[in-house]
Amino acid sequence: MKTKYLFFSVLFVFIVWGIVACKDDDGLDMPVELTIGGNQTTFEFPAMGGEQKLAMKSNYPWGAEMSPLEDSVWCKLKVSEKELVISPLQNLDTLVRSSRVKIFSGEGENMKTLYLDVVQKAGDKMSIMFSPEKVVFSPKEETREVMYMTFSPEIEYKWRGDTLVDWITVQLDAENSKLLLTSEFNELLTARRATLEVSGGVGGNRFTDTLAIEQMGNEPMIVANPDTVRIDAAGGTVDIEVLSTVEKYNVNAGGWVKMEPKEGETDKYLLSVEANPTLNERSIGILLSTPYGATPFVNGRLTVIQEGSVLAKISTDQEKVNFKTEGGEITVKVNSSWENWKAEVNEEAQEWCSISTEGDVLKVNATVSELETDRTATITLSTGAASNTASCEVVVTQLGTKPSLVLSTDRVTLNEAGDEVIVKVSTNAKLWGMTLPESEDKWCTVIQDDINNQIKISATPAEAGSRSVELIVEIPQTDVKVKLTIIQSKYYKVGDLYVVNGEPLGLVYEISDGGAHGKVVALKAHRDLNLWYRTGLPYDEIHPEDPNNVGVIARSETDGQENMKAYKQIPDWKTHYPVAAYVSDLNDGNGNPGWYLPAIKEVQAMVGWIDGEVLSPDGEAGQEPSEAMKEKRKAINQLIVDNGGNEFYFYGYDVSFIIDQTNAWEADYFNRIYTSTETDYQVHPMVFKFYLRNGWWENMHIYGDLASYGEIRPFLAF
């Protein structure tokens, strides 16, 4: 039996050997498969170095090497069965460097090779930093340490100017990155100084910096080391050494700084600086002096300079927090310009509402409510100090057992594009609904999400100004109704075209609220109008108490809208003030009310925007416009004409600036409708003449009721 088993075993070995031999003889090797995880073929590294790992797959043993190897000693490779790690060393040069990784598998003709590119960013310009920045010795023999920090692998030093400094010895402790300086006793009464030059670097990336050294003279003196301290707004502590040749001295510190002796150390102090609550840099001096009556009197000074603080600001990602009856915990993200902020719940709600803080997170907790009605709490968050403080509030609402509904916000502001905003609905009712006025659904879309108890709000892109609507959210068959205000604004820049329903109407010359509001001058001037400013209303300047007098109502020099309101106070005002009526009627045609006759200061501001300055702030004849101003005026006029408007008559008879020569004798006056007939003292309204050429203007009363041809270019506020 054993013989039979041995026979078959030997036979099996020969069969296997035969198969392998046939395979070798017939050249049936498997093709090499070599792949890299992902499609990346270029690997970028920062100057500091790092590592990147690649997943590798091959059906044969594989390897990797840098190519060319002799120029790539800065990049290290680590190969394992299924992974390649690329690790460049720190780039100490100021030039970008690159190389290639060669990955190979197989041998002979059955070999596959892949290449990867490795690029490393340039290093920063090398430098060195010393601590302390200046070394001060007492007259005695002593040793001081100077720590340094640099990326240079080696440094060297010498005395500036190759001068001989025989009173100091220098030792380099490269392992601990420090210099040891030892001074000899100074027998002189005067101080002595030296400058140590320290150099280092790699290749073309080299540096040379200096370390100032001073030894006090052997005479009575008190010196703080350092003698000037700069510290940030947060304050903190700094170690101070006092070098003194007197037996005793006092330290006089007060205000927002303290300087106290360090326990167990002679002439060593801890300077403590409070946080700066103001936005401005501040400084203070600490006096070091011999006691009163001591001779000789000696003093020194330590100056502390502290940076100004950042403006205190604080806000949260939720202005309202809503809990159901069962209570629970909700987190609120806090954004504070100061690291330290605090929060407090109003005293009346502290029994059921509690808070805790962790980093920039506020955690709000509410206990179970057994009340029928809702209950609220106010959390006040604050930051800053002294006069530089800021605060905000988070309103907490917990539903009662009666039907109730609250929203995560009462006001939603959509961006210009009308992107979707979600408002959360907290309610204990099974059903709730909402109503949007039919007239507003053309631009505003609201979707009720019953599954997630939320409202999805979006809008069409805003074209001009601001628009708003009130959405009513309610619980059916109850009196529970909540209003949600939805607002959308288009944000303009000065110089933008003001467009309504696709039609350019004017140029924005002034903005406020980040561009959500502002003022516009019309592109089109309504010309050759046979109108008059006023008719049929008496005003007696000599007897203003006459009850029949209407007075001069349009008095504002800064707000044309107020003047328009003044016109409208008079019965049958459109009959009496045809120019104002004409402008008011323009608002009915374009669907965007707001056109008005500008006040003088508004015209000044508009022309000042064009010119870059107001030529005549006081209305007197100003200087002639510069060539640069003329170029700006041409550019604005071209923009106006390109968008279907009428250019400004800046120069009267200058035909290059006039399209319509009608009434060219008065073409350079702005809104130039008035009559020269002066028959009586029937005065209303008070208007102005504005000379576009150099900014001269004057108020004028309108006498009589004869019409005059002219133009109107209204303004608009959005």
Q: Are 120 and 47 in contact (CB under 8 A)?
A: yes
The alpha carbon of 108 is separated from its chain's Cα centroid by a whole number of angstroms, namely 61
Q: In 3-state terms, what secondary structure has residue 58?
A: strand
3-state DSSP call for residue 473? strand
pLDDT at 685 exceeding the cut of 90 = no
Q: In this predicted model, what pLDDT tens digit does every residue of 303-319 receive, in sequence order?
A: 999 999 888 899 999 99
Cα separation, 472 vs 460, in Å, equals 20
- Reply yes or no on whether the pLDDT at 424 is more than 80: yes
Given this model, what pLDDT does residue 697 score?
52
Give per-residue pLDDT as tens, 251-298: 999 999 999 999 999 899 999 999 898 888 999 999 999 999 888 999
Least confident of 351-360, 614-623, 631-640: 614-623
Q: Mean pLDDT, to the nearest integer, of 520-540?
A: 66
pLDDT band at 480 (very low <50, low <70, confident <90, very high): very high
Percent of the chain whose predicted confidence (pLDDT) is above 90: 52
User: Both tokens of residue 685?
Assistant: 């309204």
423 exposure class (CB count in 10 Å sphere: 0-12, 13-18, 19+): buried
Mind listing the pLDDT tens digit for each residue in 119-157? 999 988 999 999 999 999 999 999 999 999 998 999 999
Residue 646, beta-bridge partner list = none
Confidence of residue 39 (pLDDT cuts 50, 70, 90): confident
8 A C-beta contact, residue 559 and residue 519: no
Those residues with Cβ within 8 angstroms of residue 342's Cβ, 6 or more apart along the chain or in another chain:
357, 381, 382, 383
Residues 6+ apart with CB under 8 A from 32: 58, 59, 60, 105, 106, 110, 111, 112
Mean of all residue pLDDT scores within the chain: 82
Compute φ and ψ for 332, nearest 5 degrees.
-125, 130
Q: How do beta strands 388-398 and 320-323 pair?
A: parallel
The pLDDT score that the predictor gives to residue 545 is 59
Distance CA 221, CA 199 (A): 34
Decide if pLDDT at 692 tops 50. yes
pLDDT value of position 713: 82
Tokens of 609: 């925007």
Give me the pLDDT at residue 385, please.
Answer: 81
Which of 418, 399, 407 shows the shortest CA–CA distance to 448? 407
640: which residues sit within 8 A by CB, 6+ positions away? 507, 523, 646, 647, 648
Alpha-carbon gap, residue 16 to 203, rounded angstroms: 62
The CA-atom distances, in angstroms, between 262 and each of 240, 266, 271 are 10, 8, 10
- Give the orientation angle of helix 578-590 with respect to helix 560-567, to 10 degrees: 110
Q: Which residues of 474-509 are buried (b: 16+ CB within 10 A; e: fewer)?
A: bbeeeebebebebebbbbbeeebbbebeebbbbbbb
pLDDT digits (tens, 9 = 90+) for 606-626: 888 888 877 666 656 556 777
Most confident of the following: 281-285, 566-570, 586-590, 712-716: 281-285
- Whether the ω angle into residue 685 lies within 30 degrees of 0, i.e. cis, is yes
Question: Residue 680: which pLDDT band, with cuts at 50, 70 and 90?
Answer: very low
Identify the pLDDT of residue 657: 30
pLDDT-wise least confident of 183-187, 246-250, 631-635, 650-654: 650-654
What is the rounded distance in angstroms from the CA atom of residue 192 to the CA atom of residue 163? 14
Structure tokens at 697: 């203007």
How far, in Å, CA of 363 to CA of 329, rounded?
A: 7
The count of other CB atoms within 10 Å of the CB of residue 572 is 9
pLDDT band of 10, cuts 50, 70, 90: very low
Residue 546 pLDDT > 60: no
In the predicted structure, residue 710 carries a pLDDT above the cut 70: no
pLDDT at 216 over 80: yes
Count of CB atoms situated within 10 Å of the CB of 134 = 14
Evaluate if pTM is beyond 0.85. Answer: no
Per-residue pLDDT band for 23 (boundaries 50, 70, 90) equals very low
674, HSE (Cβ side, Cα atoms, 13 Å): 21
Closest Cα to residue 342, out of 301, 309, 314, 366? 314
Pick from 158-162, 205-209, 265-269, 598-602: least confident: 598-602
262-299 burial: b if 16+ Cβ within 10 Å, else e: eeeeeeebebebebbbeeeeeeeebebbbeeeeeeebe
Both tokens of residue 712? Answer: 């109107």
